[in-house]
Amino acid sequence: MPSCRATSDTDALGASGVNQPASEPGTAPGISRRAAVLWLGLAANATAAAIEDMGRAPATQPKATVAPPALDAAAAGFLAFSRSMTGHAELAPQTAQRIYAAMAQRSTDFPMQAQRLAQLATTAGEPGALLASASDAGLRDTALAVVAAWYTGTVGSGRGASVVAYADALMYAPVRDAQSAPTYCPDGPAWWTRDPPPIGVSPPVEKAATPPPTTGFPMPTTGSPPPPRTEPQSSAPAGGAR
């Protein structure tokens, strides 16, 4: 007659006090097949939910932007004059600050000249009219030097020149939609093989050539023009800044 053994509460519930059925073949001791399937199902649901959340999340997180420092009154007036004089309302305040500082370093009269030019810009908004007003005030050279600095991205010349902008120089603006500044890659490999964007301008109009003079000394027709002046006037002219 088979022997019988009394089953205690500890044997029935296990060491943790939870009713644990006997382990089935192929499962870990103390874990039933039903419990294992349950845990695997919960893990699969959690993984699926995580993948779904990743699909809804943006591919890249937006980068934090830091606002540039505010311009002082002198640089802000210089920026307003520069925008009116060049006809480009998108000029960057940081570049204006660098041009102003570089020109002020080269001429102690420049801050007063810039102040006068900023005053003229409040009444003459069109570039041609503003240049005429600057010429009447004796500040034509400084006004043109400011324009040259924005277009070339430099102030001064030779070894003492200061670079104030490169890719943002206005000389690259006319072709920026199809051609980047030298050494900059605007897109992936072989980007230059794609068709260029439409030019959106009318074709050039051919003008009749000016006949050469028949008297006096002959005018030279060859040779490179001198580089643009990118330095302010050395001294304030009469009738200029006060």
In a domain, 57, yes or no: no
3-class SS letters over 23-70? CCCCCCCCCCHHHHHHHHHHHHHHHHHHHHHHHHCCCCCCCCCCCCCC
The answer on pLDDT for 228 being more than 50 is yes
In a domain, 62, yes or no: no
In a domain, 240, yes or no: no
The answer on pLDDT for 7 being more than 50 is no
The answer on pLDDT for 66 being more than 70 is no
In a domain, 234, yes or no: no
Q: Which two tokens stand for residue 162?
A: 């200061």
Which of the four pLDDT bands, split at 50, 70 and 90, describes residue 34? Answer: confident
pLDDT given at position 136:
94
Percentage, residues of the chain above pLDDT 70 = 68
**Which range has the worst mean pLDDT, 34-38, 54-58, 200-204?**
54-58
Residue of higher predicted confidence among 112 and 36: 112
In a domain, 89, yes or no: yes
**Which range has the worst mean pLDDT, 77-81, 120-124, 140-144, 195-199?**
195-199
Residue of higher predicted confidence among 51 and 59: 51
The answer on pLDDT for 150 being more than 70 is yes
CA dist 90 and 83 (Å) reads: 8
Which residue range forms the structural domain that includes residue 96? 73-192
* Count: domains in the chain: 1
pLDDT given at position 6:
46
In a domain, 153, yes or no: yes
The H or E element spanning position 10 is helix 9-13
Between the ranges 3-12, 48-57, 69-78, 160-169, where is the mean pLDDT highest? Answer: 160-169
DSSP letters spanning 69-111: PPP-HHHHHHHHHHHHHHS-TT--HHHHHHHHHHHHHH-TTHH
In a domain, 39, yes or no: no
In a domain, 5, yes or no: no
Query: Counting beta carbons within 10 angstroms of the beta carbon of residue 154, is it exposed (0 to 12), middle (13 to 18) or buried (19 or more)?
Result: buried
Residue of higher predicted confidence among 18 and 49: 49
The H or E element spanning position 163 is strand 162-163
